[in-house]
Amino acid sequence: MFRLRRCPTGDPGRGLGVSHPAAILQFETEIPDTPAGAIGLEPSGADDLAWILRYATEHNLPVDVRGGGSHHGFGTPDPSSLVVSMKGFDGVVEWNPDDLTVVVGAGTPVASLEAILAERSQTSVLPEVPGAATVGGVIAAGLSSLRRARLLGTRERVLEVSLVTGDGRMVTAGGRVVKNVTGYDIPRLTVGAFGSLGVITSVCLKVLPVPEASATILLDHPGQAAEANRPLAVLESNDRVEAFLWGTEPEVEAVAGRIGGSMRRGLDWPADPEGALRWSLRVPPALVDTAIGILPEKWRFLAVRGAGDLRLASDSRAGAGELRDWAESVGGSLVVVKAPPSALPDFDPWGRPPPGLELQRRLISQFDPARIINPGRLPAGL
Amino acid sequence: MSLIADLRALLGDDRVLTEPVELHIYSKDASLMRGAPTCVALPDTAEEVAGVVRIAERHQTPIVARGSGTGLTAGASPINGGVVISLTRLDDIELDVDNRAAWVGAGVINLDLSVAAAPYGLYFAPDPSSQSACTIGGNIANNSGGAHCLAEGATTSHVLAVEVVLQGGETVVFGGLAPDPPGLDVKGVIVGSEGTLGIVTRALVRLLPLDPDVRTLLIDFPTLEGATTTVSEVVAAGLVPAALEIMDQNMMVAVENWLHGGFPTESAAVLLAEVVGEPEAVVAEAEVVSRIARANGAREVRLAASEAERAQLWLGRKSAFGAMAQVSPDYYLHDTVVPRHVLAETMTEVQAIADRHGLVTYNVFHAGDGNLHPLIPFDASEDGMLEKVHQAGQEMVEACLSRGGALSGEHGIGLEKRDLMPGSFSEIDLDAQARVKEAFDPAGLFNPAKILPEGSRCFDFGGVRREIPDGAWV
């Protein structure tokens, strides 16, 4: 026998209370690429967003959440009824540089955040060539830095997350300190979850100081990088292998000398390869060479050595099936990052379904019971 | 058949403990709270763990996983009775040198992994002070930290995959060597879940290359504040040393009493700082740390001259809690974290709180992370002492939380800090956490009564009261 206690739900959208289409139109705005029949909405804060999501849950309306739109090709999204722009969640909320943490709105472009942090020689260690990508978008899509072999991925950066669940609850988990085991690690669970636990509104990130010196070194072969104990990154693409170093001046100088090769000052990060089709190949770190060796002809690649993260581009899908079969046979995956509509019939964007599917479904249904946030983005219909 | 008969049919008589003295040994961890296990199961394999879980579920009995029992928050205390599953026999280590990783059984001792990896130039970064006794499974349950997680992150940063026995005895592997497995990062939420979501039987962990060079500095200060300010300024100067640990005078005296390691017991505090990396880097960084320390009144900066001296200093640091045994029969320990820029003022206030209650604190803590460990020695047999210590402890927690701090940095919540959770989270936040628990364990059999206060899920189960032993601080 149990008694039901009323769950507190917060202010229902500035007292609008009753669900009514007229009420939702106050948030209406023009958003590029909004499908015919869908409404573009721009909430200005978490209260508005909570109201919109509750409305969507009540009426079973799929919501497409937009950050910078730069990684909008994952999965096979359901046709959306509402398109929600996160532009209203832009800006640094709290930054105490001496704590090496920053609280930032999810709609903040990564490039803007980095520019602000750079004023005090800090970095959020999010993707280096972000384009228009936002902090929330990068976290939701689980995209990581090219420095991940040394500094680890985006999962390691999110200390606290505030999100609005599908049924409009405003939840905060984690904390604004660098070390914290208070409760379940929901922040980590939101990385790569494509909003399925809720739309991220703000996060506290662990930032790092940028050391005084850095260098980019062109190598003849990847083996040279072994001269550095733990280089910041070793990146290989179709036409070059480069090592990236940072640290104190004497250290960078000395390590660059040991590695050899032609050195330039600063960190000159390459962009992911471009093409009609873009892919993410994820394999055990020791198999990066093997992966590069068996890439289909004419595919472009950027491999993060030591991390097993290869970003690929191609003009056609020829060879993708074999590559996926191999990747899955070694415990990895080949994921479609971007493809023109209907370019890949009969090719699942994620491949083999992930383990513990029922458990994952139960988890998501606790946060987005009507499954309205970005449905279809995750693998296996999650 | 009875629970015990079922378990004996699975494991044999000798791997199901029921004698009173055996049950007593498994009735608590290193905290002050004792439970009463119905029996103790000693499985050898993940399949047997799954079998034990299925049997316990059939008998609707709580399941409490246990490693070495070094936990400090009653995480492994079987507070509602039930089956304690000891995982110490799952102790295989399978190194994967090419991928700088290892599959390890939950029962592997933390230090044993680094020892096994050392011939290949690798080590396991998380190094709790109890690393020579605690298990990897326990580290995963608590997302344990340690002195060196300042630069390298806590346990969760080093776990690539977990093999976990879920409700119904279903065994699933989440994660792997390849980065970013598609779907939710279930592994990420299992790490740090204190055995409340399932039982981790094996884990794939990241190993790091041993550092080519290291400098360990012991810096003594005439004031505790000088040491804490130095830490804040080193971090603010853009350095991320491998470790920044502070020990106050009380603690130094306790350690020096048995170690005779040359700690300057006449000083108010010492800072143990370690920088690692390329030879050129450690020289430059040690210089920066020394300069900042001297500007903050440091009297002497001692550089460990040999590996033996370095090991001696770390032995002093890591055996500090053990040294408390000579001071008092009991001690109470907090594990809060504050933003680093308020570290010095928080320490001052913690001291003032202790003074107000006529108590003494011993401090040894991960200053670089802002992770405090004020330790209050006391004798629980003294009338009213427990209440006094409890009250002071509450005030210390409030002092940290009011400065934007967190309730626990590395020891976990368990039972001991469970009812302090509403100080950190709103009702809605706690409900969200309770929903995670519900998704994994709707029957509530995995380590019940831990982490989340009663009623977190907005559904209150009327009529059923949990049993809390006398003297438990909840």
On whether residue A153 sits in a domain, the answer given is yes
Determine whether B200 is exposed, middle or buried from the number of CB atoms within 10 Å of its CB (0-12, 13-18, 19+): buried
Query: What DSSP string runs through B335-374?
Result: B-B--GGGHHHHHHHHHHHHHHTT---EEEEBGGGTB--E
Mean pLDDT of B311-333: 89
Q: What is the Cα B57 distance to its own chain's centre?
A: 28
Given a cut of 90, whether residue A10 has pLDDT beyond it is: no
Our CA-based measurement puts residue A86 at a distance from the nearest CA of chain B, in whole angstroms, of: 22
Domains within chain B, CATH numbers bracketed:
1-210+418-474 (3.30.465.10), 213-416 (3.40.462.40)
On whether residue A100 sits in a domain, the answer given is yes
Chain A hits for B283, CB-CB cut-off 8 Å, are 250
Q: Do A94 and A140 fall within a single domain?
A: yes
Nearest in space to B301 (alpha carbons), one of B261, B272, B335: B272
Q: Do A196 and A112 fall within a single domain?
A: yes
On whether residue A220 sits in a domain, the answer given is yes
CA–CA dist B276, B283 (Å, integer) = 9
A with B: how many residue pairs have Cβ under 8 Å apart? 287
Our CA-based measurement puts residue A105 at a distance from the nearest CA of chain B, in whole angstroms, of: 19
On whether residue A260 sits in a domain, the answer given is yes
If you measure CA to CA, which chain A residue comes closest to B440? Answer: A359
Q: Does the CB of A350 have a partner CB in chain B at under 8 Å?
A: yes
ipTM: 0.94
If you measure CA to CA, which chain A residue comes closest to B452? Answer: A183
Are A185 and B143 a contacting pair at CB < 8 A? Answer: yes
Give the pLDDT band (50/70/90) at residue B302. Answer: very high
- Give the CATH number of the domain where residue A29 resides: 3.30.43.10
- Give the CATH number of the domain where residue A314 resides: 3.30.70
Query: Given this model, what pLDDT does residue B471 score?
Result: 44
Of the three residues A234, A265, A296, the one that is the final residue of a domain is A265
On whether residue A373 sits in a domain, the answer given is no
Q: Do A199 and A221 fall within a single domain?
A: no
On whether residue A349 sits in a domain, the answer given is no
Query: Given this model, what pLDDT does residue B319 score?
Result: 87
Mean pLDDT over the full length of chain B: 93
Per residue in B47-105, pLDDT (tens digit) is 999 999 999 999 999 999 999 999 999 999 999 999 999 999 999 999 999 999 999 99
Are A100 and B235 a contacting pair at CB < 8 A? Answer: yes
Q: Do A97 and A188 fall within a single domain?
A: yes
Our CA-based measurement puts residue A211 at a distance from the nearest CA of chain B, in whole angstroms, of: 7
Q: Do A92 and A82 fall within a single domain?
A: no
If you measure CA to CA, which chain B residue comes closest to A245? Answer: B278
Phi, psi of A312 (to 5 degrees): -120, 155
Given a cut of 90, whether residue A13 has pLDDT beyond it is: no
- Give the CATH number of the domain where residue A158 resides: 3.30.465.10
DSSP bridge partners of B218: B272, B302
Of the three residues A72, A87, A102, the one that is the final residue of a domain is A87
Q: What is the domain extent for residue A125? A: 88-209
Q: Do A228 and A290 fall within a single domain?
A: no
CA–CA dist B152, A58 (Å, integer) = 45
Q: Does the CB of A270 have a partner CB in chain B at under 8 Å?
A: no
Q: Do A38 and A138 fall within a single domain?
A: no
Are A7 and B238 a contacting pair at CB < 8 A? Answer: no
Chain B hits for A382, CB-CB cut-off 8 Å, are 183-184
Are A184 and B189 a contacting pair at CB < 8 A? Answer: yes
Q: Do A117 and A178 fall within a single domain?
A: yes
Mean pLDDT of A70-76: 91
Query: Given this model, what pLDDT does residue A35 score?
Result: 87
Phi, psi of A194 (to 5 degrees): 50, 40
Given a cut of 50, whether residue B474 has pLDDT beyond it is: no
Are B408 and A185 a contacting pair at CB < 8 A? Answer: no
On whether residue A348 sits in a domain, the answer given is no
Given a cut of 60, whether residue B135 has pLDDT beyond it is: yes
Alpha helices in B207-306 (DSSP H): 224-236, 249-259, 279-295
On whether residue A113 sits in a domain, the answer given is yes
User: What is the pTM assigned to this prediction?
Assistant: 0.94
Mutate to test the interface with A, among B152, B180, B416 (most CBs of A within 10 A): B180
CA–CA dist A64, A76 (Å, integer) = 12
Q: Do A191 and A228 fall within a single domain?
A: no
Chain B hits for A5, CB-CB cut-off 8 Å, are 455, 458-460
Mean pLDDT of A213-232: 94
Per residue in B226-243, pLDDT (tens digit) is 999 999 899 888 888 999
Q: Do A290 and A236 fall within a single domain?
A: no
SS3 (DSSP) at B32: coil
Are B178 and A331 a contacting pair at CB < 8 A? Answer: yes
Mean pLDDT of A72-95: 94
Q: Do A163 and A238 fall within a single domain?
A: no
SS3 (DSSP) at B175: strand
Total tally of structural domains belonging to chain A: 4
Chain B hits for A2, CB-CB cut-off 8 Å, are 459-462
Q: What is the 3-state secondary structure (H, E, C) of chain A?
A: CCEECCCCCCCCCCCCCCCCHHHHHHHECCCCCCCCCCEEECCCCHHHHHHHHHHHHHHCCCEEEECCCCCCCCCCCCCCCEEEECHHHCCEEEEEHHHCEEEEECCCEHHHHHHHHHCCCEECCCCCCCCCCEHHHHHHHCCCCCCHHHHCCHHHCEEEEEEECCCCCEEEEECCCCCCCCCCCHHHHHCCCCCCCCEEEEEEEECEECCCEEEEEEECCHHHHHHCCCCCEEEEECCCEEEEEEECHHHHHHHHHHHCCEEEECCCCCCCCCCCEEEEEECCHHHHHHHHHCCCCCCEEEEECCCCEEEEEECCCCCHHHHHHHHHHCCCEEEEEECCCCCCCCCCCCCCCCCCHHHHHHHHHHHCCCCCECCCCCHHHC
Chain B hits for A165, CB-CB cut-off 8 Å, are 432
**Which residue carries 């383990």 as its tokens?**
A355
Q: Do A252 and A311 fall within a single domain?
A: no
Are A184 and B451 a contacting pair at CB < 8 A? Answer: yes
- Evaluate whether B160 touches B416 at the Cβ level (below 8 Å): no
Which of A186, A327, A350 is nearest residue B189 as measured by Cβ atoms? A186
